[in-house]
Chain A
Amino acid sequence: MSKGWQLTLILCLLGLFALFYQGLWGDPRHIPTVLIETDAPNFEGPDVETGQTISLEQFKGKVVLLNFWASWCYECKVEHESILQLHQLFKDNPEFVMLGVNYQDELPDAQKYLKEYGSTFSHVRDLKGQLAIDYGVYGVPETFVIDQQGKIRHKWVGPITGEVYTNITQKVIAPLLKAQPTTTTTS
């Protein structure tokens, strides 16, 4: 019998245990926030609905809200109404841009999702998950707020509803825009 499989087996096991050992010293609940106050990684990708290329660079000098979502994500549906409402709140401000990032999804599913739940702003497809890796996204939904200088100023893991909504609109976005939001009701 060839020795090949035996060696492979040993190497696989050693690799696995090295990995597990290394993994022990990380905290699974710790989500890196090193990105806060750093430059938002640039990206480029096709629009989910039109297919045209969207890049972050074209919005330089504006406050950008990035919302990572996927059609298979349950919490995204929960936050969807308030996300639309948030857009409604600031969309008239020329300094504000909102972008959805469609993450780990099938294009038809994503399009169907937007059709069904409504879409008032553009969504870029994260084709290879590279964008999510650059932003350290570890699940959906996740939301980032980028300021006029292109620095990440806020990150939220989980749905934007209730208090989180009030906080992100009043304490994060409004001060950046130096604007008073007219309404703050949430759903």
Chain B
Amino acid sequence: MIIEIGHFSTIVALVLSVFGMASAALALKTRNPDWARSGRMAITLIFVLLGVGMLSLVYAFIIRDFSVLYVANNSNSKLPFFYTVAAVWGGHEGSLLLWVFILSVFSTLAVWLHWRTQPTIMPYLIAVESAIIFGFLCLIVFLSSPFERLLPVPLDGKDLNPLLQDPAMVMHPPMLYMGYVGFSIPFSFAMAALFSGRLGEEWIKVTQRWSMFAWMCLTTGILLGGYWAYYELGWGGYWGWDPVENASFMPWLVGTAYLHSVLVQEKRKMFKVWNLFLIIVTFSLSLIGTFLVRSGVLTSVHSFATDPERGLYILIFVGTVIGIAFGALILRSNKLKSQVEMDSLVSRESIFLFNNLFFLVAAATVFLGTLYPLILETLQDAKVTVGPPYYNAVFMPIALGLLFLMGIGPYIPWRKASVASLKKSFSTPLLAGAVIVVLLFVTGIHNLYALAGGYVVTFAGMAIVLDFGKISQLYAQRNGSNIFQGGLAAFTANQRRYASMLTHIGVLVLVVGIIASTVYQTEKVVSMRVGDEFAIGDYRMKLAKIHEVAGGNWNAQEGVFQVFKGEDLITELRPQKRIYSATQTPTTESAIYATKMGHVFLTMPEVSEDGVAVARGVLNPLVLWVWGGGVIMGLGVILNILRPRKKEE
């Protein structure tokens, strides 16, 4: 019964989304604000109704109602409680419902938050948001309903995909979706600007915090996914350039470009068409990502159901949204000429331009790599995959270039910079970079990427530290306080700037983590019997025994490895090869020993009948910096979003 209530609410929400579009159109036609108000009410009600839909599905999972097809497909009587709730978004239908539910939450927030300050824009916003909600709800109600009943009722469910039974997986999809969907708000405002012809800087200022929030969620989602891949897939790495990973990375890249280029429009009224283009591309890539993941067009470790009918629907929907968006941009482009021309190539504007160029080239690179197999298959009927070497080769120089720009950008003046001022700002950081390179080289680090990375990270980091130090000192002198109080005063006085710099520092930490853990990863794969040992780095691993262990819904062979450093037994690692009972799917559970500087990572991917185990040990130096950097980045964005509003904003 409960599930029918959820089903019914979702259908009513679909009807209301049509009403939302209609009332927005009437509001624009009649200029009667009552219509806009009903539109706002419709959006709010959609949120409530979809909330009911979500809750009914959660309830069905909690009571393990296997008469619901979606529950039967994604749950099992032995599935731990924690994961029964996460299983709501463990499959195609439920994750689409989550998508549109988050969309309704954000839409509701947007219409209420900006109602008073943006009265003329509101009908457009309501129209665009209702239209996107409508598109997704059609898909859910007509093609992918999570509320369908199953007859006869099975005794037990098929179980949640074992790879998804992991804490990081509980948060990874919602975070990603919040990122994807979050960009729909700036997108809607941009569309509203295009439709209404109010093409000034206002839509950018209004949506700045939204964009940052969406970006932060997307970043967190991607990093959580990486963490999951790291210990659950047993890669020992966190990024494999898998098509589905790429699908989330592309909107991130363009979204990051967008976050930077809007600053130019804010300060210099340039890049008008460009910013609209970027936000349309960002949101389009979010939608295309959904299409790629959900239609089964590409081969990937993310095994989702493939169904051409649904895929075709998503394609038509995504095509319509993108078509209308770019169509509007093209039709309006004559109105969007910037009045301001670039003054000099040595200016902050041009650094931003290069920043954008780099990000877009990066996104295009990933895009081509992801679609190349599809192109080849279409043209030649051949199956290929594009491996990590392609991405690494193209990506490394771009990333280094971006980091270098990151060091320069914030400290170069707008319009035109003089050589003298450049010398003053950058001579110390440039020198510091060189010193680090020499130090690294002397300590035995000869890898080109590590050295180049060390240089740009030091350069960019030094620029931030010097600038902040100087300003802090000024504040300390002025207030007669010590340097820490001065720093705090400097930070609060320029919260927007220094919160952004904190995010940049997070990026630097992340980059150090990535370089150290990829370039200096040590790996060993050995086959061994009980009693054998192998050495990796300073560590010795001795396989003490292999025994059977059982969890609620799985059985595993667990290897007990004693880890020695020198002669000392420092810890015991217990990697498992698990078999989940309901699906008979094997997974490898890694075991990790955290050292001060990194991880000792151990998996046991194979155990043969006669007791020979394949063990894989990996030393990942500084790998925690990857996620530590992510935390710092997030903190920077939060401080940026929470900064006090200034009058001109």
Contact = CB atoms under 8 A, between A and B. Distances in A.
Interface stretch (A54-62, A93-101, A131-139): A131-139
A1 B330 CA distance: 11
B296 interface: yes
Contact of A129 (B308, B323, B377, B384): B384
A73 B387 CA distance: 9
B384 A132 contact: yes
B616 A77 contact: yes
B315 A20 contact: yes
A6 B329 CA distance: 9
Contacts of B376: 133
Interface stretch (B11-19, B125-133, B430-438, B603-611): B603-611
Given A9-B326, A72-B387, A138-B383, A77 B378 contact: no
A19 B383 contact: no
Interface residues of A, number: 45
A70 interface: yes
A116 B386 CA distance: 25
A162 B608 contact: yes
A161 B299 contact: no
Given A17-B319, A104-B387, A23 B377 contact: yes
B299 A138 contact: yes
Interface in A14-56: 17, 19-29, 31-32
Nearest to B243: A28
Query: Which of A32, A72, A80 is packed against the most chain B CB atoms within 10 Å?
Result: A72
Nearest to B304: A28
Contact of A105 (B319, B384, B389, B605): B389
A136 B386 CA distance: 13
B484 interface: no
A72 B389 contact: yes
Contacts of A17: 315, 319
Interface residues of B, number: 54
B534 interface: no
Contact of B330 (A10, A19, A81, A137): A10
A139 B385 contact: yes
A185 interface: yes
Interface string A149-177: 00000000000011000000000000000
B292 to A, nearest CB: 8
A31 B383 contact: yes
Contacts of A72: 387-389
A184 B376 CA distance: 40
A105 B390 CA distance: 9
B385 A138 contact: yes
B614 A81 contact: yes
Contacts of B385: 138-139
A70 B387 contact: yes
A28 B315 contact: no
A74 interface: yes
Contacts of B333: 1, 6
Nearest to A81: B527
Nearest to A70: B387
B380 A133 contact: yes
A179 interface: no
B525 A20 contact: no
Contacts of A9: 326, 330
A21 B291 CA distance: 11
B113 interface: no
A81 B384 CA distance: 26
Contact of A22 (B322, B378, B525, B605): B378
Given A28-B296, A81-B614, 4 more contacts: A20-B315, A23-B378, A104-B386, A185-B610
Interface of B: 234-236, 273, 291, 295-300, 306, 308, 311-312, 315, 319, 322-323, 326, 330, 333-334, 336-337, 371, 373-378, 380-390, 523, 525-527, 605-606, 608, 610, 612, 614, 616
6 contacts: A28-B297, A104-B389, A133-B380, A136-B382, A137-B384, A161-B614
Interface of A: 1, 6, 9-10, 13, 17, 19-29, 31-32, 70, 72-74, 77-78, 80-81, 103-106, 117, 129, 132-133, 136-140, 161-162, 185-187
